[in-house]
A and B are shown apart, each in its own frame.
Chain A
């Protein structure tokens, strides 16, 4: 009698857009999936993405194409991204939008009932599909619904309110499962799988106040890095130019506000001067009149220049003393927009009003840049479709065999700066790709012998058990939340918009000091149930290690590229730094070792990033594989 073949089991860590996309595809490929997530999948940080998702569907009659989308993305990232994955992502984008449309995601529509598209930063085309101003929430829900369908069918198990602590690696270094923590009863456990997909989002909490959700600690990637995973391009942190300042969080004010016609300004002061991109010094507008500085400095892209540029100009203008009421804030003005445009932005306008008490339909909003996104993340492999070794390598797999990494927690799609509305796309795309490549990897893995399995599982479990015991037993005068505040103050001041080697050096030493002081943290809560002091303290050490990675990467990169801008290095340096930064953990010193990998520029030659001219270019692409390997 033929027994039905047992479906292989795969663990997906993280239930946001990337994790759910991977789970969806893995089930379609015949796998059984367990999703381990610190929160309910439906509450994942993807809900915070507001403005939209890019796809060059070209139904707006603009002659747009996936090729131009790829070019815009690579140029927006200042040529740091490896090009093959970006090109394939952009070619897959239209079918990804259609898939989500078929899932029932309530995209905005044209009067004829077709998908509507808006314009976003760093492009001259209307290629951003959207659901009001809560697109991430709606895309996440659409995938959450599909995964729930599979859950009802018995192919997906969700372990929500459980945290990934550690990869279980066998003696050959292959992935065999994970150690997890139950966030309610604090018990530790192990789960078996020969492939684990990490989809744990960004590390915004390292900066404490960012646009990220409270569970975006980066701890999972930090833990993997401590286990030997390479962490790539950590120094590239995106600062979003427009956020609402707040005490607990900096709330995002979507780029779509500008995409729909919102204008950034400060009261002009003709006695002051600013350097334009041409190098020429120009007056800061006219005294007594609004000065739309982005429109004047970048006439072609205006308020829709890429985020790194907008954030730097906002900061520069504020440092010149031109900030509204002398504070570090500028106006984002929507008060002139017609009702139908304001209706499309309802979700974010309500949020502004709820937190500030002011109606942005009537008065300009006050906004300031905030830490938003990490371009860097776990290093992952990408054999291109026509690479001779394509069949023996696996896309989205880290250097730890069997451990995949996707979504914001990988490094692969955005180079030195991410374009707006590309993150939702890269989450879904990388999730689907991992869903395709994980089964291929599993075919190459042999099961572990029972004795060895028992040994490695208990070994890894004991490491985490001991960490837990030690943390509870620790005594000292330090409070982990106070250490977090210290870390974030240093990181926000020195590892964001403006960097200098002197300050980066000091910050690096400060983080080492914080690591040392972690040994003297005593938990304010010694309880064994839903103890958030323990949970956070347990995350904080890997967060500190990632902070070291970011700071060291920034210190060694002596150039200006995308989001990385440093005093004394005003130019991009392709000779020395057209390279991916790779950080690996050195257990001997407890510090990162930085090496570099050449960037794959096989499709487009690097050129200077210029946003001052209004020209729709028709880029040419080289070496396009005759047959791309799109996941849809």
Chain B
């Protein structure tokens, strides 16, 4: 069997579609297909071209590097199996395109620095005194650990941001990932001391006011993180915070 990778590539302002015909072998995924192109970078017109550039890392969906639009859907390239894509779409042509909500670097590489800047804004950390031996941290029961672990598997891949219709040129909405990280630290016995600061960030113009409840984020999250639950929790927290702010109560 043969199949075609149709790649939206190029640099900012100079993007174009290019197609590559490839032979299918068992177990092929988008990464092995792109590796195949690098070995023999010839497009379907027989022209020798530059290999397609893309980010990759762990290739087992824990690092978040290889995010791209595959048949229009934001996801990781490593877990995108060619056979499954063909079966699902009924077509032997698979389209690849870079994310659109981040600055384009080249081909499938985009600059996701904003993901990490947002983590600073929501203070996504525990405010540790000092890195010395103080014995174990606070006791945490399995139920809470399980929720925190689920939230903490967020690999800043950017799929939720790409999928969110509210993240666009007209809005400053930071997107679901950072809001969910705020919740991760609000749930920690020490981290929650910073909750008020986080609430105020989430009440601002980049915060949860931007969410339109489209729920695309949970549908595209490769780690099935309960992002809408996090946004709902942020909604409750910020409402309470607004009331507290109004009456000038402590924390």
Residues of chain A whose beta carbon lies under 8 Å from any beta carbon of chain B: 24-25, 28, 39-40, 42-45, 47-48, 95, 97-99, 101-104, 106-115, 131-132, 134, 137-138, 141, 145-146, 148-149, 151-152, 160, 184, 213-215, 246-249, 251-252, 347, 351, 354-355, 432, 479, 481-482, 485, 524-527, 529-533, 632
Where chain B touches its partner, the secondary structure class is: loop
Contact A112 B139 (CB under 8 A): yes
- Residues of chain B with a CB closer than 8 A to A151's CB: 120
Q: Tell me if A42 and B64 are in contact (CB < 8 A).
A: yes
B136 engages A115 (CB within 8 Å): yes
Q: Is the CB of A355 within 8 A of B81?
A: yes
Asked if residues B155 and A524 are in contact (CB atoms below 8 Å), the reply is: no
Residues of B within 8 A of A40 (CB): 112, 116, 156
Complex interface: stretch among B121-129, B212-220, B229-237: B121-129
CB-CB under 8 A for A113 and B140, given A145-B126, A532-B53:
yes
B156–A109 touching, CB < 8 Å: no
Residues of B within 8 A of A112 (CB): 139
User: Which single residue of chain A is at the shortest CB-CB distance from B127?
Assistant: A149
Which one, B24-32, B201-209, B243-251, is touching chain A? B24-32
Q: List 28 A-B contacts (CB under 8 A).
A: A40-B116, A40-B156, A42-B64, A42-B156, A43-B63, A43-B64, A44-B63, A47-B62, A98-B134, A99-B131, A101-B136, A103-B126, A104-B126, A104-B137, A104-B185, A108-B145, A112-B139, A148-B116, A148-B125, A213-B58, A246-B29, A248-B32, A355-B27, A355-B29, A355-B79, A485-B39, A525-B53, A530-B107
- Residues of chain B in range 148-182 having any CB-CB distance to chain A below 8 Å: 148-149, 152-153, 155-156
Q: Report the Cα distance A251→B141, complex, angstroms.
A: 32
Known: A24-B131, A42-B116, A530-B109. A146 touches B38 (CB 8 A): no
Q: Which residues of B contact A115 (CB under 8 A)?
A: 136
Contact among B61, B107, B131 with A351 in the assembled complex (CB-CB below 8 Å) = B61
Q: Nearest CB to that of B26 among chain A residues?
A: A247
User: Are B56 and A106 in contact, CB atoms less than 8 angstroms apart?
Assistant: no
Q: Contacts A214-B59, A248-B29 hold; do A102 and B128 have CB atoms under 8 A apart?
A: yes
- Find out whether the CB atom of B120 lies under 8 angstroms from the CB atom of A215: no
Chain A residues with Cβ under 8 A from B63's Cβ?
39, 42-45, 47-48, 213
Residue of A at shortest CB range from B80? A354
Whether B125 lies near A149 (C-beta < 8 A) is: yes
Contacts of B142 in A (CB 8 A): 108-111, 113
Complex Cα–Cα for A107 and B48 (A): 51
Chain B residues within 8 Å of A, Cβ to Cβ: 11, 25-29, 31-32, 35, 38-41, 48, 50-51, 53, 55-65, 78-79, 81, 105-107, 109, 111-113, 116, 119-120, 123-128, 130-137, 139-142, 145, 148-149, 152-153, 155-156, 185, 188, 190-191
Contact A48 B58 (CB under 8 A): yes
Q: Considering only CB atoms, which chain B residue lies closest to A27 in the complex? A: B131
Pairs A-B, 6 closest by C-beta atoms:
A113-B139, A525-B50, A145-B125, A101-B137, A102-B137, A95-B133
Report Cα–Cα, A47/B155, bound state, in Å.
9
Cα–Cα distance between A215 and B58 once the two chains are bound (Å):
9
Complex Cα–Cα for A148 and B125 (A): 8
A533 to B106, CA, bound (A): 13
- Check if A354 sits within 8 Å of B79, measured CB to CB: yes
Q: Is the CB of B62 within 8 A of A48?
A: yes
Tell me which of A25, A148, A252 contacts B60 (CB under 8 A): A252
Question: Within the complex, which residue of B106, B131, B155 is in contact with A632, where a contact is CB–CB below 8 Å?
Answer: B131
Q: B109's closest neighbor in chain A, by CB?
A: A530
The CA of A437 and the CA of B107, in the complex, are separated in Å by 43
Among residues of B, the one whose C-beta sits closest to the C-beta of A524 is B41
In the bound complex, how far is the Cα of B139 from the Cα of A533, in angstroms? 50
A104 surroundings in chain B (CB, below 8 A): 125-126, 137, 148, 185, 188, 190-191
- Candidates B11, B113, B190; contact of A529 at CB < 8 Å: B11
Given contacts A101-B137, A481-B39, contact A141 B152 (CB under 8 A): yes
